[in-house]
Structure 1
């Protein structure tokens, strides 16, 4: 299969890329030492963005600004209703610039433009949900401690939060963190991926337009070693929230432990969809194709493992392959595209090598298995690997590409064991019309989310996060704002107090 990608229609191919600066203390700025970065679109092979990159000195400036804004500025002391108003205004501004933001994410990450539009709309919805939580955040009181004592538990903002986000969902994932930190009254330093920074910079513009005080949200662009590492270890930072690979997450936790910062980690996944013979097989096939190939498989929640009952495996795979053949791979800016580009040539090679290794281990490549010739950018064919054994790397390790590994089972207990044979525990899906079967698998699976007769639906009201090596903590849900707070206990005593000191 050969794709025909023509980048000549891109404005960036004619007039050149836009240059983006950092936001520190309410001002747009270059880095102290003049570092620069640039991004070539993975779908078009054209330079689409230039950035002013930061370094340790810029992190120091941002941390100082965030600390001043927290201790001296109005944000933590504002009425919750006033903070909520800023978040709601931000959501409205996101909606107004949805097409622009979606296009930036499609250009820089390679995701399909139609999908990017949905993510931007979803991000606006999350900002509105966070605004509602700002007004409902509260503590507790205890009037049951005796006549002379009253206990009050306050929820106070934790302080300065470092927010580090990945390249695969540039605008959506920052929305799963920043608005909840702001709703709690925190200040923040945000570092997007150095490959997909543009939409986060636009978010900074929207926050300023919405009335966010200077220094409350600072955006520092750059690489992990130059910027991210210093955000994790900086003594003025009270909490780190990170989304990315498990390998980098472990290093981040270790670095943050030196100053005992609170950490929240949303990491990798090797997620299974389990299909029983009594399932709605047509719906399950559609969900399995979606789960495997959505965002070109570059998704921590991807349904990268199919665990299907032997009684229906042959028919299910035939139907899957027929539907997968209709999945349109192509130009991310084409509204009809379902699978866009792979983030970098190096990552494409890594995905291809994982499939080659699986073949060497004894698995079979049923469809796909290699990159697609395109003329510009880099693309991967939707791939299905069958005959997979649970001990194989392809069954256990996160490939982060459009690759589905297929395993078969006969008993419920065997299916549950296969779900849990990885170090990850982010999500899973189970397909069965039998409520006993569905509940049994859902309760037993060691994952943070289990979908029953659906896959990868998401709502701001529902917590998201993983077990085992898929992360620490949860995002979204009614507790999301509380995660950015500390509890403070205050005890009030009235009347005479019995003296501890006894004369004589």
Structure 2
């Protein structure tokens, strides 16, 4: 009998014909200029899922030109906030109407569970509605305290053409954290989804057209970071880049964008700690830990991939986490019972295994998992829920992003030691604290270096709350009112009233 809860291949039908994806350039769906295509197979089932146009330099240049023209010569940037909001709200309604279609395709391309995909598409629609509200409430400031003959105004204007580059782990949700806010601000956009999950972004482009978005305001180029992403980052006609992905690629984007000094917003990696004090509700903590590390197979920048637990409760808590981990259903992502699906690619699965192997060599103990899983009837790649104890701060697995269902357990005795361990990684995306003492929670929240801190919970999210990191987890913020501010420039207007200016020359 296996020590894990496994869901075999289910009877859900996989489409026999692949989804065909094309570029959206200036309102037209087109193939690549050179005719190139690329294919995506399901990481869980091995079946061909999609065949997409593979963008090149010419395709990318045409998309950038279309976005530039739509911003400079079109009406979108100067349109009423109410008009932009209507299109965003219509898009949200269309997302709801197409939720199942989007969720199935996202499950097939990414390997995530269908129940999770459905929830993410629902959450994405909410983001479009929230951004619509921001479009109508956007405003600048006025200053009438500059003297009787002066009036000052602060205008907020769209930054211009933005390049939006999104990853494979949450393809529809993350574009919905960027694009509606950019559109609400009055920007035009060029979008590049990951080559591993291109198709749901294509569907979004179709829905935007149905919602009445003017041609050229949103352009989509499918393909690889080289050349598509590189051109979107370096072209002088682009005013801003918003990127979600690895820290290594984020650094390269900053270097490329420096040539034109364009604005850059980055949401990058994380090695997110949860610190557990002896007075914590251990059962609730264990459940949140299990959720935090296995959600999306750990392929999540907010993954709670390391816990820093007080020595007095470390053994008891670890045993609870191990037992709960055995009960989490891993398997066919098309089965609604599944909570953890496939790993995105064989190469990524090998990377996860290498981290675990290196940690064992360095002295850590694998108390659960540590190996690939074989799922009946499925040809794809799966990795077992894995827990390592005896992890020390000098090990790579303690400070580097594994991006898989792997939990590292470290221990502490004092608050200062816990803070030191929590801040020891080069990342600063999110952190958590578990204690019944509000003073403990507040002290940790103020001292930990992270963009988000959860107290007695993990990975709750709201459209109203800003999201982003510090240190090597990125720069800038998404969501909340800060999400639209990223796509705005501030302009000061100083007006003298009447002929009152003192003469400089007598």
Question: Is TM (by shorter chain) over 0.5?
Answer: yes
Aligned length: 500
> What does the per-residue CA deviation read over 1:175-213, in whole Å, with 9 as the maximum and x for residues that have no partner?
000000000000000000001011000000000000100
Per-residue CA deviation, residues 190-238 of structure 1 (Å, 9 max, x unaligned), is 0000010110000000000001000000000000002000000011100
CA offsets 1:434-472 (integer angstroms, 9 cap, x no match): 011111111110000000000000001000000100000
Residue equivalent to 2:390: 387
CA distance in 2, matches of 1:140, 1:411: 47
SS of corresponding position for 1:146: coil
- Residue 16 of structure 1 deviates from its aligned partner by 2.7
For 1:129 and 1:82, how far apart are their aligned partners in 2? 15
Question: Any idea what the Cα deviations from partners look like across 1:286-338, whole Å, max 9, x if unmatched?
Answer: 00000011000000000000111111111111111110000110001010001
Q: Aligned to 1:499, which of 494, 500, 503?
A: 503
Find the aligned partners of 1:6 and 1:414 in 2 and give their Cα distance: 46
1:11 to partner: Cα distance? 3.4
Aligned residue in 1 for 2:277? 276
Equivalent residue runs for 1:220-239 within 5 Å: 220-239=221-240
Paired with 2:103 and 2:94, the residues of 1 have a C-alpha distance of 14
Instruction: Please report the RMSD computed on the Cα atoms of aligned residues, expressed in angstroms.
Output: 1.2
SS of the aligned residue for 1:254 comes to helix
Does the residue aligned with 1:106 lie in a helix, a strand or coil? helix
Aligned partners of 2:369 and 2:384 also within 8 Å = yes
- Structure 2: how far apart are the matches of 1:481 and 1:11? 38
Distance 2:147 2:7 in 1: 77
Provide the residue aligned with 1:446 in structure 2: 449
Measure, in 1, the Cα distance between the counterparts of 2:418 and 2:76. 50
Q: Structure 1 unaligned segments of length 5 or more: list them.
A: none
Task: Give CA deviations for 1:30-86 in whole Å, capped at 9, x if unaligned.
Answer: 011111111010010111100011111111111111111111112111110010010
- Matching residue of 2:440: 437
Displacement of 1:5:
5.0
Match of 2:267 in 1: 266
Secondary structure at the counterpart of residue 481 of structure 1: helix
Q: How does 1:139-288 map to 2 (within 5 A)?
A: 139-288=140-289
**C-alpha separation in 2, matches of 1:490 and 1:273:** 47
Report the counterpart of residue 90 of structure 2 in structure 1. 89
1:307 corresponds to which residue? 308
Shift of 1:8: 8.1
CA contact (8 A) 1:148 1:495 kept: yes
Any stretches of 5+ residues in structure 2 without a counterpart? none
Residue 6 of structure 1 deviates from its aligned partner by 4.3
Deviation at 1:499, TM superposition (A): 1.9
Instruction: Calculate the TM-score normalised by the size of structure 2.
Output: 0.97
- After TM superposition, the structure 1 stretch with the greater mean CA deviation from structure 2, 447-456 or 142-151, is 142-151
- Asked whether the equivalents of residues 387 and 407 of structure 2 are also in contact (C-alpha less than 8 Å), the reply is yes
Task: Judge conservation of contact 2:10–2:332 (CA < 8 Å) in 1.
Answer: no
Residues 141, 150 of structure 1: 8 Å contact kept: yes
- Structure 2 Cα separation of the partners of residues 490 and 163 of structure 1: 30
Q: Hey, what does 1:366 align to over in structure 2?
A: 367
* Contact 1:7–1:376 under 8 Å retained in 2: no
* 2:200 partner SS: helix
C-alpha distance in 1 between matches for 2:279 and 2:42: 44
Structure 2 residue 79 is the aligned partner of structure 1 residue 78 = yes
Aligned ranges 1:107-122 → 2 under 5 Å: 107-122=108-123
Measured after TM superposition, the shift of residue 495 of structure 1 is 2.3
Residue 490 of structure 1 is matched in structure 2 by 493
Which position in structure 2 is the counterpart of 1:348? 349
Instruction: Give the corresponding residue for 2:320.
Output: 319
Superposed displacement of residue 498, structure 1: 2.0
Structure 2 match to 1:458? 461
